[in-house]
Structures are given as structure tokens and as C-alpha cells.
A and B are shown apart, each in its own frame.
Chain A
């Protein structure tokens, strides 16, 4: 009897939770809709005063906070520097920060709030592809601007988003070129099970087929997967020359610990990772990842006066033990790019900024970057790095000059079948 009653109560509780969930989802879409209907041609941003509002939208709580908090920090640094050197078009930036809470629906809801109730001139943030895809219709509907600072799987070019991280032909394709050049004849693909690794691996397989590289295996782990014994056993058994790793988040820790415990080393079977930056090395444990390879467009060790200043200023503000990484640098750069675009357009309006975007260039810590007005990505130099004993990543190979962004891989013959 009591068991039956308990079950009934459980069902009731589940029903209440579902109703609450539906209600909050409904609220989210209503905010977004108001943004879309309120002003179709441009945002309600008020640029008449001595300051202009901009929005930061990063996950400050939840599972992605570990990564996105660092992007938030470097955005704050960029805004402070812009303000202390006179602002944008003479106006001081005032920051409105929102927490995306690692939930795509909350990203969409907060983006709507920033655009239509805070009336910001532009929004900076987002990390996961899921959060970007959730925000995209909100920004397009309200014709507002988002600056997205993380490398991603490509195949997207929204007129309302500027992508300042790498697309695949600036990160994954150069990594494959590097491996091919090193004489690697076979690969094992390990990734987390969601859109980025799946898309990236599709492209890797197309490249491999065209270049005579043998794919020995392909394994996906659910996000947050903690036990890699079986996957590492499969990697070990397959005997590939190298591993291409698109795992995301905490799984990397478990994977690399298991990899080392199983007796696999960078000497016998190197791992190329596209989601491990300076920030993550401490958490994985230097011993587990030393001498492994990474593919990015920026490393803290880049030897240039511009980067030395960036690193020094970041450490002065946040502490000497902090490090700078690719997404942080891309976020920092995105705000300066926006500043140059606005000053070129002499206007904060979305359409004016967008029209001014093509060819805008900025001397960033990673080197000179240039905005492509057609696909809204930026030309940036590709770098293969190796994790050093100092827990930083050192450039092993460089593309030499900035690689033009090609999010749909139109200029590659082997990618013909992918984008259809």
C-alpha cells in the first residue's frame, strides 16, 4: 500500500517538474520572440549618451563554467583596456554579464534579454556548438550581432555572427597536413559523442581517403564518460600510427590517464588533440600529457611583443599562476575587431557594422587577423604545438601565413561530398 502511494507521489512530482520545465521553456521563447518582433531592422541600442552597452554571455555555472569562465575573464580585460584608451567612437563600454549556465535554452533566453531588454550593441560569448545553434535564430530574428570565440566544426555562416575561433580548415586540416608530412599512414579517431567530433571525423575520413591514410578505428564516448579502459584497449589493439582526439571536457583527463597507464607513449603513438589548451593541462596532469600534440591558432608561448603584453596584462589582473589559451585570445581579439569595425563604420548599427566588416584587420596576440566579410570568419595562422615540461604548449609547426577561412571546405576537392 505504502509503496503504491509512494509511486503515485513520484508520478505527481514528475508531472510538477515537467510543468515547471514547460513554463520556463515558454518564457524563454517569449523573450526571444519579443526581441524579434520589437525591432526588425536593428536593435534598440541607445548610443546617444557617453557610454554604450555590450553584453557578455558565458556559462559561469554548470559543467562548461570550467572553460567559459576564462573567456569571460579575457573579455573583461579587453573591455577595460578599450575603456582606458578612450572607448569605442569616444563612448565608454558598459558591460552587462549574463550566465548561460551551460544550457543552450538559457543561452537563447539570455541572448533575447540582452538584445531586447538591455538593448546592447553587441554580444560576446558562447562556447559549445549547441549554445551557438540555440542563439543563432535569436540574433538573426532581432538582427543583432554575436561574436563567437571558439573553434568549431564549420559548415555555418550567419550574417549575424562573427566567428573568431578557427573553422575546420584552419585547425583540423592543417593538423592532418602536418601528420601526412610526418609520414603518418594510419589514424585512430577518438571523440566525444556530439556534433563537433562527429562532423570533424567525417571530414578527417574524407581527407584520409584522398590522401592514402588508413583509419584503423573510430570510437565515441558520451560526454562526461569516465572509464576509458575499453576504448584504450581498442586503440592499443588497432595499432595505428597516431590518435586524433576530439574528446571534450573531463573525458580527456580519464582518457590520458588510462592511455599512459596502458603503456602508450607519445613516442610510440602520439595523440593530436584539438580541445586541449593551456588551461586543461594542469587538470589532466602534466605527466599524462607531456610531449603530446595539439592543434590551435594561438599558444601562450608565441614570441611577439603583442602577445608578451597580452600575457603580462592578463597575469597582472588575474594572478601569475593563470595561463592564456586559444579561446581566450580569440575572445579578446573579437572585441578589438568589433571596435575597429564600429570605428570604420562610424556607427553601432548592425547593418553598418556588418557592411564595414570586410577586410578589417587587427594585430592580435596570435598575429595579424583579417575578417572575411563574406563568411564572417577570420583569416588566422594555424599552429601545431607540443606540450612541454613547463606545462605550456610550444609551436612545433606553423602554416607560416594566415589561412583564409573556408567554413564549407569549398576549396578542397576531397571535401566535395561532405557539404552536398
Chain B
């Protein structure tokens, strides 16, 4: 029983990590259709932002809380630059985008290596996030609870933005039918730019959060990018709730499989489940019906 609960918690916590990593991608890939392989490197940029801030502000708690908005800004601005210089030119060439952004990701990794050095850097967790919290039937590491809360907050913030603000309406409009949106006077250009800014910014936040769990180094992004795409594809293009369900679903699957087999087999089984699922439902868990021809 004890093991069941701790694996349940492990699955939820893994799901929240996946969700944070995939949320920005759900926006840029899911909504805009841009295959951005450099998304992981925006996470890395967020993680290094946390590292730089901690060098300036010694108190780990303050610097972490400060790093979340700043990580968003750093990731977002990098996304804006990438969008304005490269991606803008190839909105109708998805395969070229894949190769170009992959190249960008390699350049960014090497840049990080040149700036911060090849070894991992240490981002200290604040005192109130190390150790475990007893929740009755099992213990949960505080850092993982924090990430769960952060993921929930990010999802809520994003859905509020999409549902209630004029910007959100414009984004949804452009996603559902770009031509029609343009005809009614929405500037698709600036909408694209803002969507990409927010999506990349969310990657920055994910990077800050990941410093609590893993290594902060040039290859941080590559460890998460495949899983992030998996979540978005399984969740279905164009819907945030799809990504949420897919992330927690995959997290729970991985944790369950891993407990009864090994980490490697679990990974394979998760992939098999997703592949079989996509055979049955190629559009993912959710899809939006649209009159657009694209």
C-alpha cells in the first residue's frame, strides 16, 4: 500500500515535470504548428538564468522566486529573436523549420558551454524546498510539491489568458482559421510573435524549476525535448487540456511500469502505448474541429 501511494505521487510528480516542459510547446507546436527543436535550449536558458541570479543574490529562496519571472523573460526574448529572424520565414515549411531549429539548438548548447564552461553548475535549492513533507500515507519531496504547484499555476494562468483576454481570443482565432482571422482584421503577424514569446517564456520557467531536480548544464534541454513533444502529440494539437491529461497520464504510466520493471523497459512501454494510441486516434486525445483548409 505504501509503495502504491509513493508510486502514485512519483507519477504525478513526473507528470508535472513533463507538463511544465511541454506546456510552452503545446502553444508553439500545438497551436502554431512550429516544430521548434530549440525549445529545450530555452529551458536551459531559464536554468542558467536561475544560476546567474543565485550568484548575485545569495539567498536561495529569494533568487528562486526572482528567477521564475526572469526565466520567463529570458526564454521569451530568445523565442522572439528566433521567431523574428528565422521561423517567420518558414511558416509553410515545417521540415525546414525542424532542421533549422535543430541547428539553432546545437549552436545554443555550444554557446552555453563556451560561456559557462562544460561542467554542470550548481543551483542550490532553498532550505524550505529540501527534504520531504509528510502527507499522512507517504512522504513527498518538497521540491516536487513546489513543481506540481508551479505547473498547476502555469496551466491556470495560460488557460485564463487564452479564455478571457483579447489576446487569448486572437490567438485562438488565428489557430482555428488563420485566413479568416486575417480577413476580420487580426494582425496574425503580431499574434504569432506574442504566442511564440509566451510559449518560449514557459520553457524558461520550466528550466528554472528543473534546477531543483536535475543537472544544470548545456545538455539540460535535450533530456526533455523528446518527452515534451511526446506529450503534445499524444495530447492532441491545439488544446491545453490535452497536454495536461497526456502529461499526467504518461507520468503515471512511466512510474507504474518503472516500478514493476526497469527504467529502460518502462520507457519502451510508454512509447509503445503512445504509438498504439496514435494508431487508434491519430489526432491525439483532443482535437479541434475547424473549417480551415490547412
Seen from chain A, the residues whose Cβ lies within 8 Å of a Cβ on chain B are: 2, 6, 9-10, 13, 61, 63, 65-66, 69, 193, 219-222, 224-227, 229-231, 233-234, 237, 250, 252-254, 257-258, 260-263, 279-280, 282-287
Contact = CB atoms under 8 A, between A and B. Distances in A.
B142 A261 contact: yes
Interface string B114-129: 0000111111110000
Interface string B1-16: 0010011001001100
B121 A283 contact: yes
B141 interface: yes
Nearest to B6: A233
A220 B141 contact: no
A254 B113 CA distance: 20
Given A226-B223, A257-B212, A262-B139, A283 B130 contact: no
Nearest to A64: B118
Q: Is the interface of A mostly helix, strand, loop or mixed?
A: helix
Contact of A287 (B130, B139, B212, B255): B130
B114 to A, nearest CB: 11
B17 interface: yes
16 contacts: A2-B294, A10-B95, A13-B99, A220-B263, A226-B223, A229-B10, A233-B259, A234-B259, A250-B214, A252-B215, A254-B215, A257-B143, A258-B213, A282-B122, A283-B215, A286-B122
A62 B223 CA distance: 13
Given A61-B110, A220-B264, A226 B213 contact: yes
Contact of A263 (B132, B143, B215, B223): B132
B13 A229 contact: yes
A258 B141 contact: yes
A279 B217 CA distance: 13
Nearest to B293: A2
A252 B94 CA distance: 36
B224 interface: yes
Interface string B227-271: 000000000000000000000000000110011001110110000
Interface of B: 3, 6-7, 10, 13-14, 17, 94-95, 99, 110, 113, 118-125, 130-132, 139, 141-144, 212-219, 222-224, 254-255, 258-259, 262-264, 266-267, 294
Contacts of A220: 262-264
B259 A230 contact: yes
B294 to A, nearest CB: 7
Contacts of A285: 122-124
A252 B99 CA distance: 31
Contacts of B95: 6, 9-10, 13
A229 B13 CA distance: 9
Given A9-B95, A65-B113, A258-B141, A230 B7 contact: yes
A283 B119 contact: yes
B259 A260 contact: no
B120 A253 contact: yes
Given A219-B262, A230-B255, A237 B223 contact: no
B213 to A, nearest CB: 6
A229 B255 contact: yes
B117 to A, nearest CB: 9
Contacts of A253: 120, 214-215
A262 to B, nearest CB: 6
A222 B263 contact: yes
A250 B215 contact: yes
A9 B92 CA distance: 13
Contact of B219 (A63, A222, A260, A280): A63
A279 to B, nearest CB: 6
